[in-house]
Each structure stands twice: as C-alpha cells, then as structure tokens.
Structure 1
Amino acid sequence: MIGPRFSVWRWGSFTLRAPAPAALQTAVVGTFGVLLALMLSLTLGESGLSPARLIQALRGEAEPYEQWLLWQSRLPRALCALGVGTALGVAGAVFQSLSRNPLGSPDIIGINAGASAGAVLWLLFLPGLSVAWGALAGAVCVLLLLLPGLGPQGQLSRSLVLMGVAINAFAIAVVQFALTLVQREQAQQMLGYLAGGLVHRDWQQVALIGLILAVALPGLLLLSRRLGLLALGRDMASSLGNPLRSTQLTALILATVLALGAVLCAGPVAFVALVAPHLARRRGQQLALLRSGLIGALLLLSADTLTLTLPGTQRLPVGVLTAMLGGAYLAWILFAELLRRKTKQQMPG
C-alpha cells in the first residue's frame, strides 16, 4: 500500500479512520526521539545547561546569562537544525522518487551547489544586500536546467544524476573563481557559508524554515499517493488517472523550495538529503516523506550536537561532519551493492 495505513472502525452509521498501530508506533517513537535529541542538544557541550538549570530557564527562574543562552543561542540553533533536517529529508525523498535513482538528492543533483554559487557571486558583486537573493537566483537557474528533463509524458530523465555532476562541477568552478577575486576577509566569510553550519542561528532563521515547511510540506503530502504510484511504473500510474507531468512538476518545485530553504538557513549541508530517505526505506520500499523528514531532522540535530561536544576551541561546521559521515555511508552503499551483484553472478543457475 502507498502512503500511511489506516484502521477503519465502524459503529452503526459512523466510520472512523484511525492510523494503524504501526503508524502510531512510528509517530510515538519519532516524537520521543526528537524530544530526546532536543534535550541532549541543549544540555551537552561546554556551554550546555544541566537538566536542572534547563528546567529553571524554561520557567524563567535562571540567571540572565542562562536565559540568554537558552532562548537566544541554543534553542534557536536546535530548532533550526530540526527544521533544516526535515526539509532536506523530505526533499531528498522526493528527488529520489522523481528520478527513480537512489542517488537523486538536492546536493547530488545540483540544487545546493547552484544556490551556493549564486550566494557567493552575490557576496562578490552585491555585498551590501542579503545573500538569500543570490542563493534564490542560483537555485532557480538550476531548476530551469532540470525542467527540460520533464518530457511530454511527464517522464523525468533517469540520467539526472549525470546532469547534477556537471552542474556541481560548474558551480565549484564558479566558487573557486570568486574566491580568487576577493580579499582574505571576504574569502573567509564565503568559506564559512559554503561549509554549512548552524552557528549564530536566531529566531529569524527558525521562522523562515518553519514558514517554508508550512507551505511546501502539506503540498507534498497531498501528492505523496501520486508520487507513490509512480513506483508502479508510469504506464500503470497513468492508467490509474495520475496526471504525470503536473504531479512531477509540482513536486519538483516544492522539493526545490525545501532544499533552498535549507541552504538559506544553514548553508549547503551535504548528504542529509541522500542518507535520510535510504534509512526511511529500510522498513519498506514505499515513499515515506514524513519518515524521511523525521530521520533527516534527527540526523542533522545529532550531528550538530556532536560538533558541540568535540574537543578544541574551533567548532567543526556541521556541514563538514555530515559530508564526512555521509560520504562514508555512500561508499558503504556502493560497496554493498557491488558485492551483492558479484555474489548474484557467482550463484549457480
């Protein structure tokens, strides 16, 4: 079955559709996991609050510095990590579904790279204006390059990853070119943004990613059944009345909006959008948008919490950590697939 499972209860003429026990269990475990990760994010690290001081700060009874630390530093950072991780997880699941390629994700396809290149060029030529406009322009340019992949029958090219490799290479060249033209201070600012991080996040970023999720996530959830039908084959989905082109075009735009929101709030955080859908599908091959978003949120918040606990005075950007862990996970996936194919070829008959 595609989409969430429901149990149907009937009393006379009344019918109630309630989530099945498995779905309720996933929701309960996911909520508990998010709350636990949030509490650890607020309490761990050199500047973390002890559980007792955290409760006092939540009540407004702590010292002014601890109040500031909770409400202006640690809590906005943690909520931003949850929002960005959710956006990346859902966007990754949609891109993998549209391309029918397990490597299809915003960072692999080129959305993040285009936004990064746009932001760097904006910092270079228009340093007095918000970098968000540059990231928006870069992401839109990449989206316009991807749209021709939607054929007249709504078929999204499976070679989208190859196109993403070319886009990423071009974007990296643009970034390197920009870095050669700026002074050391601007170069450090650009490199700090390109590394991807959650330092100095505030309630403006929390509100931005929350607004983007509120706009894009419901639309994708409404399309989740149609996107799930695409896994049965385009001919089968079309015969069931699924408008392929409009479904894929709308989903592509909404997923790009989520990826862009993540880049605006945290920079180009790598591999979360790739890994989260893979982990979400371990319990089934069906499209799992909410599960992908939940896992993405937990991955990014856990990675950011880990950066707060590492030794040293210079904090590792969370984007660097996710790139290291995600790259190792991707190598493991490719090695396991190669080993599986080799074993299958050696089997008799």
Structure 2
Amino acid sequence: MLSVPFPVITLIALLLLIAALCTAGARHNGALRFLFASFILILTNTLRWEFHSDLLRNLQSVMAIFLPAIAWSSFVLPGEHRQKRYVLMLFVPVVLSLLIRLLWAPATDVVLGILFFSYGVALFRATGKPPFHSLRPGEISHSDRLALFAGFFLCSSALTDLLIAVDFGFSGGKYATSIVAVTQFALLPLVGTLIFRLINPPPLIGSAPGQEQNREKERAGTAELTALYRKLEKQVREDELYLNPDVTLALLARKTGIPARHVSAAVNSVRQCNVSQWINGFRVERAKALLINTALPVTQIMMESGFMTKSNFNREFLRLSGTSPGAYRQQARDNSGLTAEKA
C-alpha cells in the first residue's frame, strides 16, 4: 500500500513508538498489534523496492489488504448487539478486496485506497472524537490517541497512493518520491507527540527537584495531594458526578470547588492515571454492579453508567477488567451457579 522506496525514517519512528508503548505504564496490546503489522508491511515494501522482487510485491499487496482490518480489530471491540455487523465489517471488505485482486489486478491500487480511507474514517468515528481532537492531558486517553493515530495513518496512506497514481497518470511518476517524502514527514510530528505523551505523563504541580532540601516539601506535597484526592473521590461518589457523560476536568473543578490543576495532580499522584481514565473507573465499577444485579441490556447499562459510545465502553471495560461486559456477566452467572450448587 505504502509506495515508499526507502522509508527508513518511518520505520525508525514506528520502532520508537513501539518501544515507548511497551515501556508505558498501561500497555495496549491492540495498538502494539497494529504497529507491528504496519512495521512489517513497510519493511516488506522496502525490501520489495530494494530487490525488485515480484514475490515481495505480491506479498506486500496482500498484507496491505489485511492491515485496515487489523487496525479495526485492534481498537474496536464487538458490541453485544452488533456482533454480526462487526464480523461483516471485519471480513467482507478483506474478502472482496482479495477477490478483486485475483480477478482484476489493475484495480488493486484503487481498492486499497478506498479500503484504507474507509477504515481510517471508521476509526475516527469509533473514538467518538474528531481527527484533530485536543491532545491536552486528561482530555483524551492513550487508547483513543493511538486509535486516532491509526486512523490518520490509514487515511494518509490512502492519500499517498492516490497522489502517486495521479502523478503516474500525468507525469509518469516524476514527483512520486517527493509525494512520499512529504506524506511521511507529515506523520512524524504526530508520532513524536505520541511518543512524548507515552514516556512523559502529565507532570504534577510544580517540579520535582532532586535536592535534599526539597525532599520534605515533596513528602508534604504528596500527603496534601492524598488528602485532596480522598475529598475529591468522596464527592464524586456521593454526587455520582461520573454519571454525567459530558463530565470534563473543568466541570469537576466547578462542581468540587477544587482548581483543575489540583484535581489533575491529585488523581495522577494517587491513582497514576489521568482524570478521564479515573472517571471511567467509576463508570466501569457501576456497570459491573448492574451487569451482576440486573437483567438490563448491555447497551442500557452502558448509558446508565455514564458512557456515550459502545466502543469506548467496551474498550474501557476491557482495560480495567480484562474481559468484555457480556463475558463478565456470564462469568458472574456461572460463579453464582457454582456457589448455589455447593450450598
């Protein structure tokens, strides 16, 4: 898909992003799967251009057909009532693209462009955030940030191939190298931002000086943040502020009367996560109780727990529980049945 002769910079950038994600506090296996697949695809394409191998060219074309589906499955979980639609979206485009490649090879580039662009837009929609959503700490999770990157990566690849196809049609590929260079360098700031966010979590209030004379102040600051967090958590639980799907750091600050930077610092210090992830923890906790104690549909539980989209609900539930909502409910029922039998 990515018609890049020697994309060394892109390969190095992806390796750095993979390394940053592996060393981050909360690993995202789906993102790692997508990044590894992208790395292997670009590496295969590089070797293809280096050795002019028809075998590698065919292998690269087939791998490119699978990459958008891999991206989709890496960041979007199947919804309880959308299983059929999820499976269709995951497999039908891939099967159709493979058939078109076998029966009408010249149309492969067009099909790949459509495939990459469609899945890229679908990833933007799945996150529930626009492609250029604010990257400020506490407003967007690492998972959503990586999903947006995957969507941008796919759309950028589709645009690159479209421009190269037009260039070959009008000038015989005279500007192909320049087009590739421009589109690759356009990705670098985004990759750099992701790496920086992963290895440099939002700082706490003030700096953390290493001088001995400031250690007592640091310990006192930690104690203050812990006390502040307890107060904050109590109010969030009692007033059920997490049930508001539009809750933000600014809204929490207004409701609790605590400055926004103090709210963020307290949550980061005690819970080692951002405010968005912290709020989602309360929501998942409530969803678990409803899954066990009620027969409500999962979609209704999602809404009553404060989530706005099914994809975000499933993703956060999986991140915090290690399983899907449906599987969690079934496991709870199975455990309840075993307990009843023993009694």
Q: Which TM-score bucket, shorter chain as reference?
A: under 0.3
Q: Which has the higher contact order (CA 8 A, sep 6+)?
A: 1
Larger radius of gyration: 2
TM-score, normalising length: structure 1? 0.26
TM-score (norm 2): 0.26
